[in-house]
A and B are shown apart, each in its own frame.
Chain A
Amino acid sequence: MSEHQNLMVCTGLTKLFGKKQALTGLNLTLGPGKIVGLLGPNGSGKTTFLKLANGLLQPSGGSILIGGHAPGCETHSIVAYLPDRMYLNDWMRIRDLVDFFADFYADFDLAKAMEMLQTLHLSPSDCLKTLSKGTKEKVQLIVTMARRAQLYLLDEPIGGVDPAARDYILSTILQNYSENSTVVISTHLIADIERVLDEVIFLKEGELKLFDTVDNIREREGKSVDQLFREVFAC
């Protein structure tokens, strides 16, 4: 795959928090048109990796390039990021947040966002501070997935929502899947997302343990990704 076709390239990516190594020499290349599962137990470096990809953390060593650029203004316009926490400004209504995204992102599809809100029975006039935690997560996911980004980085997108919404979220991710965009999903709920994944990344204590296609894993190991995960990360 040529340099231009590589959506994300990590070379020796390392992150230290004091003396603790959160990521150690990660070498990874992601191409377009994939749904990638970023899997690992708590503290394995999944969130750190996604934050480095968004420029919210600075690497202690190595580099990460997205579309040939270090994380920054250029990459933010092609990356849609869903963090693992609430970033909502409480004074806003849902409509204000949708307008905010439409204002700043040229690839934001307003009609699609409104359609998703309607499907999940969310009123644009609802004030964000009155929403439950799960509903806030849905709103954040909607504004992220309503973008036509090249790379979606989703940190625990299905962790805090009910099973019905979980199915809707996964189908939304599948609908956004295109030849040009790649979706990276970080989660513990492997069984729920395994059916949509093309590739998986196993992280353990900040190190890359496995990066392969789901088909290869099933063929080679003769087991599902969920079963392999339980073996690799057995306590």
Chain B
Amino acid sequence: MLRKLMKYELRSYFQTLLPLYIALLAAALLSNLFSNRMLALVMQGTPANLIGIIYFGLMVAVCTISMLMIILRFYKGLLSEEGYLMLTLPVKPWQHIASKLICSVIVLVLGGIVAIISFVVLIFSLDFMDPVILKRCLELIVNVSQNFSIHWVFYFVELMVLMFIAIGKQVLKAYAAISVGHLFSRHRIILSFLSYVVMGGIMLWLWGLIGNLINLLHLDHLILLLDPETKPQTWAYHLAFLLLIFWQGVEFILYYLVTHRILSKHLNLE
């Protein structure tokens, strides 16, 4: 069921986003072509500027529309008219949340990849094909490979895990805030926004409280573990990554539980 939900969710997203991705890549390519010296001379620079502005506008549109859609796909898809279809499917609430969450993360990551590719296309120049530059790039790669340590693989994995949990947490925080807003019969959008702010405040307060507790219990000497003098620096970085993953993971679970509880026990689709 989760796979089926995701299939329709992604189709719904890409009906809007796919044309934007294509337009962004096309604008980057055209901007690059018109920036070429020969063409610039012919066209006197004007199209390059215009396409550059269009490229920038499309980049902003991809970011804004992706984030707006993530909110709307949850609100409209589950807590508005479309909810009459979706919430009467033989599907459990966790599957609804998981499908929306996974698709949102895919959309955000894919949007980021498209933006990076478009930027590379935009700045790519035939000058990079210069043998001297190519030789230097090759030397740089060889140099990095020689200094390569297994820790870099773990750093990369930890960074990826942290990135996905942090993105997922932000999405779930929005879902939880919308769900809390839905508990009220009036002013749901304003109250959802307020819930988002309040939940952020509560989490800050909670982490501050835990920090104070650590101080009170004199556990702060554990911070020495992060000191490169007492432990190898590489392990200190790993520990820092793991602490961040734990922190984000706890918030991730809390926001998921709030959303799940409301969808399964307090649903009031009016």
Contacts and interface: CB of A to CB of B under 8 A. Distances in A.
Interface of A: 17-18, 51, 54-58, 73-74, 76-77, 79, 81, 83, 85-89, 91, 100, 103-105
A58 B268 contact: yes
Given A18-B185, A77-B90, A57 B82 contact: no
B83 interface: yes
Interface string B94-135: 000000000000000000000000000000000000000000
A155 to B, nearest CB: 10
A231 to B, nearest CB: 32
B267 interface: yes
Contacts of B85: 87-89
B89 A76 contact: yes
A210 to B, nearest CB: 27
B269 A76 contact: no
B84 A58 contact: no
Contacts of B136: none
A76 B267 contact: no
A87 B80 CA distance: 9
A79 to B, nearest CB: 7
Interface residues of B, number: 25
Nearest to B5: A104
A85 B82 CA distance: 10
A55 B85 CA distance: 12
Across the A-B interface, the 9 shortest Cβ-Cβ residue pairs: A77-B90, A87-B85, A87-B84, A56-B269, A83-B84, A76-B90, A91-B15, A103-B4, A104-B89
B87 A56 contact: yes
Contacts of A103: 4, 7
Given A56-B84, A86-B81, 8 more contacts: A18-B185, A55-B87, A55-B267, A58-B267, A76-B90, A81-B88, A83-B84, A87-B85
Contacts of A55: 87-88, 267
Contacts of A73: 90-92
B234 to A, nearest CB: 48
B153 to A, nearest CB: 40
Contacts of A88: 85
A100 B88 contact: no
Nearest to B269: A56
Contacts of B81: 85-87
B90 A104 contact: yes
B12 A79 contact: no
Contacts of B83: 56, 87
5 contacts: A56-B268, A74-B90, A86-B81, A89-B12, A89-B85
